[in-house]
Amino acid sequence: MMNIPPLSRLTSRRHWIGLACAALCAAGSPLAFAQDYPNKPVKLVVPYPPGGPTDIVARAVAQKLQERLGQPFVIDNKPGAGANLGAEAVARSAPDGYTLVVATTAHAINPALFAKLNYSLTKDFAPISQLTGGPLVIVASPALPANNVAELIALAKSKSGGLNYGSSGNGQSTHLSAELFSAMAGIKMNHVPYKGSAPALTDVMGGQVDLMFDTMLSSMPHVKGGKLKALAVTSAQRSAVAPDLPTVAESGLPGYEAIAWNGLLAPAGTPREVIARLSTELKAVLESPDIRQRFDAQGFGAAWSAPAAYGAFLQAEVDKWARVVKTSGAKID
């Protein structure tokens, strides 16, 4: 004879099975995943060596995210191949929000500059937010007979063979910003690439090259020390770091604008809820007074943006720099 459990026991058993299933389903849902995120350390890949502007931004942001989210945000410096090495590594990482990359202007330039890339900036990543944005500054030796943009353009037109300008490397913003300037001004300038800003600035100070478009972080201390003179900033508005320094656009080249920026990307396919969580936290971080003051003092302002807005910004940057690369003829195999 079958032993049939009482109805109350069956009901109770079904109740607990139902609760268990619901819990399992909730645990596996994107919303629950986002609420639980992060539950282990998060790696921020910086595709540059330690100590540079991108590394400085990444470490400041990582510290604040760690304080807010209660998990370590670990910096992993992975330089090489024009910042492509670190970006490629993250593009191939698991799309779970635990491996992110700090992108820069170079990543928008590289699709047009490199003959072949093993990743797509606009297809292999999910945009989270811009982090910073700031101008470059045109600096020259104090001996250069030009004290503003109009005089610089006139000098370049009058000098046989054109002026020579240094950069921190082929395809960097310090290179292509000068090429954009040359194209818009209708002048010739000869590119002299260096391995980083420091040796390039040394040669500008020594008069081996005429000028450089460089970050304010690395060049303004030399301007304040009298070893360089600053002609203009490359942003659409003046910089709070040097409010008396005019923009390129207002001092002889209307419409010119070039900024250096950092942003945060995750691998494509990362859950939208995780992207939203990171975006929300970054908004709080980048709007905090101490971060804003710290970044402003270094010449790059905090610049939070929603994921969709940052994605649109990336596409616009890719399109813009593709035109500049084509005009300049720059190429890296």
Q: What is residue 117's predicted lDDT score, i.e. its pLDDT?
A: 92
- Number of residues written out for the chain: 333
For residue 77, how many other CB atoms are within 10 A of its CB? Answer: 17
Mean pLDDT by 10 residues, the chain (333 residues): 46 49 47 76 94 89 97 95 93 98 95 92 97 95 95 95 90 91 93 88 95 91 94 93 94 92 97 97 97 87 96 96 87 75
d(CA 250, CA 50): 35
- Fold topology of 135-251: D-Maltodextrin-Binding Protein; domain 2 (3.40.190)
Give the residue carrying structure tokens 């970050």. Answer: 215
d(CA 170, CA 195): 9
d(CA 266, CA 87): 10
Give me the torsion for CA of 214, 217, 221, 227, rounded to 10°.
-10
Extents of the domains making up the chain: 34-134+260-328, 135-251
Residue 103 has which token pair?
């992108």
Q: What is residue 255's predicted lDDT score, i.e. its pLDDT?
A: 93
- Nearest 5°: the CA angle 286, 76, 81 is 105
Give the residue carrying structure tokens 């910042």. Answer: 83
d(CA 124, CA 267): 6
Pick the CATH number of 34-134+260-328 from 3.40.190.10, 3.40.190.150, 1.10.3720.10, 3.40.50.720: 3.40.190.150
Q: Does an H or E element contain 136, and which?
A: strand 125-140
Quick check: pTM over 0.85? no
At residue 261, what is the residue type? W
Q: Exposed e or buried b for every residue in 118-140, given b needs 16+ CB within 10 A? A: ebebeebbbbbbbbbbbbbbbbb
User: Would 34-134+260-328 and 135-251 be classified into the same CATH topology?
Assistant: yes
34 phi/psi in degrees, rounded to 5? -65, -40
Distance between start and end Cα atoms, the chain: 82
d(CA 222, CA 242): 13
Provide CB contacts within 8 A for 138, sequence distance 6+. 149, 152, 181, 211, 212, 213, 230, 231, 232, 233, 234, 248
